[in-house]
Amino acid sequence: MKKIAASIMCADMLNVQTELERLEKTDCDLLHLDVMDGVFVDNLALGPEWMASVKKQTNLPFDIHLATEMPEKYVEMFRFLQPETISFHIEAAAHPVLLIKRLKSYGIKPSIALNPVTPLEDILPYIDEVDQILLMTVPTGFAGQTFQQETLEKLRELKNILAQRNLQPLIEVDGNINTQTISWMKKAMPDVFVLGTSALFQGGDANSYQECIQEVRQTINAYR
């Protein structure tokens, strides 16, 4: 079953409760939460206390993306939220194997993230240890960017490698994900689709959110 994650940093931040209520009425599967430290990326986003308040208002499982240096430190900071998944960047992790083990010991699914410019080779030593691979389709850091076409080849290559090695971590894609960019992935469909400003959060209401998610699901199903 393919999963849809709503990227809450793209929501109307002055009306978060309403946004969460709208998402609860859809068949969205996950809440994607970006942590940005102003160092790994030139942006700041989403702290642990704010997320704790969000958790009280939603039943959606948390899919946390650490767009940070020192992911080891941030895992300790965010683990109390009991997220389903935490993604950390291969570019930032000092000891990926230890971090993966630690996440597992906390009952959190480890996910390894990579930016469009990062070669796939950098994550290959770890792909048999993780539950998910987060393939960024724009440079991590900002909403509203343009899809990087070269990530399509990376996606195909990753799918081939996983098939050859008989591995089944989920592939998550994030960055300018909408029905058009999903249609470009028809040769290699990912498993988890993060929806931000380019599909979901466009100032609509609960109905338009559900329509958007249905349309995205139809597009995914058309190419499976």
Ligand X SMILES: O=C(CO)[C@H](O)[C@H](O)COP(=O)(O)O
Residues at the site binding ligand X, with contacts judged by CB under 6 A: 7, 9-10, 32, 34, 138, 140-145, 174-177, 194, 196-198
Nearest-CB residue for ligand X = 196
Task: State in angstroms the smallest separation of the CB of 97 from ligand X.
Answer: 26
Task: State in angstroms the smallest separation of the CB of 108 from ligand X.
Answer: 19
Catalytic residue among 29, 37, 63, 174: 174
Let me know if 174 is a catalytic residue: yes
Considering only CA atoms, which of 101, 122, 121 is closest in space to residue 110?
101
Instruction: State which residue, 168 or 202, has the beta carbon closest to ligand X.
Output: 202
Task: State in angstroms the smallest separation of the CB of 142 from ligand X.
Answer: 6
Pairs from 198-202 (Cβ < 8 Å, separation ≥ 24):
198/144, 200/6, 200/7, 200/10, 201/6, 201/7, 201/10, 201/11, 201/12, 201/19
Instruction: State which residue, 10 or 155, has the beta carbon closest to ligand X.
Output: 10
Let me know if 205 is a catalytic residue: no
Considering only CA atoms, which of 175, 185, 194, 177 is closest in space to residue 153?
185
Catalytic residue among 29, 34, 37, 63: 34
Question: Count of CB atoms within 10 A of residue 152's CB?
Answer: 18
DSSP secondary structure code for residue 38 in this structure = S
Task: State in angstroms the smallest separation of the CB of 199 from ligand X.
Answer: 6
Instruction: State which residue, 145 or 179, has the beta carbon closest to ligand X.
Output: 145
Instruction: State the burial class of residue 221 (Cβ atoms within 10 Å of its Cβ: 0-12, 13-18, 19+).
Output: exposed
Instruction: Supply the residues annotated as catalytic.
Output: 34, 174
